[in-house]
Amino acid sequence: MAPKAKKKAARQPEKQVICTAVIGYGGAFNMGKAHAEWMNAAEGFQTIAVCDTDPQRLKVAQQELPGVLTYRNVGNLVRNPNVGLCVIITPHNTHARLAIQCLEAGKHVVVEKPMCLTVKEATAMIQAARKNGVTLTVFHNRRHDGDYLAIKRAIDDGRIGKVFHVEMWGGGYGRPGTWWRSDKKISGGHFYDWGAHYFDWLLNLMAPRKMVGVAGAFHKLVWKHVTNEDHVEAFIKFDDGAVADVQFSSIACVGKPRWRILGTQGAIVDRGGGSFELHSVVKGLQMRTEVRYQDSDWGAYHRNLADHLLRGAELEVKPEQARRVIAVIEAAEKSSKSGRVENIPYE
């Protein structure tokens, strides 16, 4: 009797991988290396190229990412048909130009925060993505910080009732360093660094409310060796009457908690340090408890992006949301100059 033929093992489908390129491998904070490694650690991505105008930084990239292709010109990079996604980590005033160049070449784009410097730039980026049928998103990974996640859960669970007042604070008193992040023409100004994360947090926390006006106060009083403002403030009013006050300063000798949130049945005060104060009113009695932060999950950003690009999932950080952040900052500065409450052109 002839032996039975062995069944062939079913061929496993090859995993889909999006080849990525990092544009900007500057040494500050090692963000180029960080982005490349975050992408490589996420299933669905592989960093294959780096672009930087500095040949020394490209040598560093080759040492840190063995086998990576290097380019000194974005035009040459985007002609590589294997590159499907470009991650832009360059000075803020270059974000719009480089993003549009990549989008028009048919590449998906991730832009480091802030998205860009103006609403006009943000709109041009969004239009370029739509026209070319590719994805544009901004690296608002801080939505997955453990402190923010814990605060959002407490509010979503109704622990302090309806939120009607939010204060957010960052900074202190200290001489800024002399580099491009302190140069307003390049950085955009004091609000365009951590402020971008703060406004993204705030607008997601207050959703689905709409902003109806922004008043701003920008001060340049002490540090004359740099062009960024010394103190910036945005006061935002929402359509249900709720308000938010966001401040950043390099001339504040006395600070405040990072978060102070008032609700109709309680409050949240977060000073950092692994937990926040939750004040609540239960049957007429005021109670105070410490709520520990959740674990941060930055990998969630890239998991969502992979799910979106490879499997059609809804994109978490939509470019229109990132444009709102720029709109708030732009309106706050305009208000500081005009002395009037300014409208928000985009929601």
Q: pLDDT tens digits for 81-114?
A: 999 999 999 999 999 999 999 999 999 999 999 9
- The answer to whether domain 18-139 has CATH 3.40.50.720 is yes
Residue 136 and residue 101 in contact, taking contact as beta carbons nearer than 8 Å: no
Give the β-pairing of 18-23 and 85-88. parallel
Fold identical between 18-139 and 143-296+316-338? no
Assign 329 to helix, strand or coil: helix
Q: Is the pLDDT of residue 59 over 70?
A: yes
Q: Is the pLDDT of residue 206 over 60?
A: yes
Quote the pLDDT of residue 345: 73
Q: Is the pLDDT of residue 2 over 50?
A: no
Tell me what the mean pLDDT of segment 27-32 comes to: 84
Neighbours of 292 (CB within 10 A): 11
The answer to whether the bond into 208 is cis (omega within 30° of 0) is yes
Amino acid 183 reads D
What CA–CA distance (Å, rounded) separates 9 from 80? 36
What CA–CA distance (Å, rounded) separates 323 from 114? 9
Quote the pLDDT of residue 14: 57
Q: Is the pLDDT of residue 117 over 70?
A: yes
Residue 252 and residue 134 in contact, taking contact as beta carbons nearer than 8 Å: no
Contacts of 274 (CB under 8 A, 6+ apart): 292, 293
Instruction: Give the pLDDT band (50/70/90) at residue 28.
Output: confident
Quote the pLDDT of residue 5: 44
Residue 321 and residue 200 in contact, taking contact as beta carbons nearer than 8 Å: yes
Q: Is the pLDDT of residue 167 over 50?
A: yes
Q: Is the pLDDT of residue 301 over 50?
A: yes
Tell me what the mean pLDDT of segment 192-201 comes to: 97
Give the β-pairing of 18-23 and 45-51. parallel
Instruction: Report domain extents, the chain.
Output: 18-139, 143-296+316-338
Amino acid 235 reads F
Q: Is the pLDDT of residue 29 over 90?
A: no
Which of 196, 140, 195, 190 is closest to 169 using CA atoms? 195
For the chain, give the percent of residues with pLDDT over 90: 91
Q: Is the pLDDT of residue 8 over 60?
A: no
Tell me what the mean pLDDT of segment 284-297 comes to: 95
Contacts of 269 (CB under 8 A, 6+ apart): 257, 259, 260, 261, 276, 277, 279
Instruction: Give the pLDDT band (50/70/90) at residue 346.
Output: low
143-296+316-338 CATH: 3.30.360.10
CA 158 to chain centre: 26
Average pLDDT, the chain: 94
